[in-house]
Amino acid sequence: MPIGIDVSTEMRRRTASWVAREIMPHEPQIRAWLARKRIALDDIDEVVQEAYCRLALLDGVGHIENPKAYFFSIVRNLLIRRLKRQRIVPFEAIAEIDSYCDETPLPDRIAGGRMDLARVACFIAALPERCRNVVQLRKVEGWSQKRIAEHLGISEKAVEKQVWLGIKAIRLAWARWEEEGAAHVELAPRMTEARK
């Protein structure tokens, strides 16, 4: 940090840079959304300006994981507050704005997806070697059956059968895990069931 520049000035510069990079590109989308809600152009300008002022007052932006959703949330809340202050407010306008739903998955859904992915990876790892290699190449890496067959020196029919057996074993393991609520289910013994 250059001599003579205090910490608060540096933080404001960082916040301004972050706003320019992470927030401003979403302004046209926000303005279009407000216009679709039949908000007057002057009111749109005021709401957007007030949202930028709110961002400028933040002590830091490190806690913001999704800048677009954060900006939309500020604008939405400011708009609701503005509409509620008006003497005559169309009920539909508030209901429509209240119903705005951000498409970004919630943190608990992201964490749950990661846990499910880790669980499937454990189930794949427990497959017999040949089956594991085929399933990994086909379902995870996205290789074609022909390429896998050439790579492993087996027939395409064998590749198809190994994928089928592997997926069946993973489904059985998943169902067993759900029934038992177990943290980990052994898959190898289930491979014999999958072959039936």
pLDDT tens for residues 98-117? 555 555 665 666 666 777 77
Residue 135 has pLDDT above 80, yes or no: yes
Last residue in a domain, options 68, 98, 128: 98
Alpha helices in 57-127 (DSSP H): 67-85, 91-98, 107-125
Is residue 195's pLDDT more than 50? Answer: no
Within-domain flag for 1: no
90 and 113 in a single domain? The answer is no
Cα angle value 159/165/168 (rounded, 5°): 140
Residue-wise pLDDT for 155-190, tens only, equals: 999 999 998 999 899 888 888 887 776 444 444 444
Triad 54, 58, 61: Cα angle to 5° = 115
CA distance 79 to 43: 9
* Distance, CA of 37 to CA of 160 (rounded, Å): 53
Evaluate whether 169 touches 190 at the Cβ level (below 8 Å). yes
CA 164/CA 171 separation, integer angstroms: 11
One domain, residues 94 and 111: no
Task: Tell me if 2 is assigned to some domain.
Answer: no
Residues 66 and 83 in one domain: yes
> Which amino acid does the sequence have at 130?
R
Q: Across 6-10, 47-51, 76-80, which has the greatest mean pLDDT? A: 47-51
DSSP code, position 102 = -
In which domain, by residue range, is 85 found? 7-98
**Same-domain check for residues 116 and 71:** no
Domain count, the chain: 2
The pLDDT confidence band at residue 129, using thresholds 50, 70 and 90, is very high
For the chain, the average pLDDT equals 77
**Coil, strand, or helix at residue 121?**
helix
Same domain, 13 and 86: yes
117/181 same-domain check: yes
Q: Are residues 64 and 111 in the same domain?
A: no
Q: Which two tokens stand for residue 137?
A: 């190449």
Q: Identify the domain boundary among 98, 132, 161.
A: 98
Structural domain contains residue 162? yes
98 vs 70, more confident: 70
Q: Where are the alpha helices (DSSP H) in the chain?
A: 7-18, 27-36, 41-56, 67-85, 91-98, 107-125, 129-135, 145-152, 156-180, 188-195
CATH code for the domain of 126: 1.10.10.10
Are 118 and 181 part of one and the same domain?
yes
Q: What is the band of 130 on the pLDDT scale with cuts at 50, 70, 90? A: very high
Query: Is 185 found in the same domain as 157?
Result: yes
**181 and 131 part of one domain:** yes
The CB density around residue 74, as the number of other CB atoms within 10 Å, is 20
- Whether the full predicted model's pTM is greater than 0.85, yes or no, is no
- Length, in residues, of the chain: 196
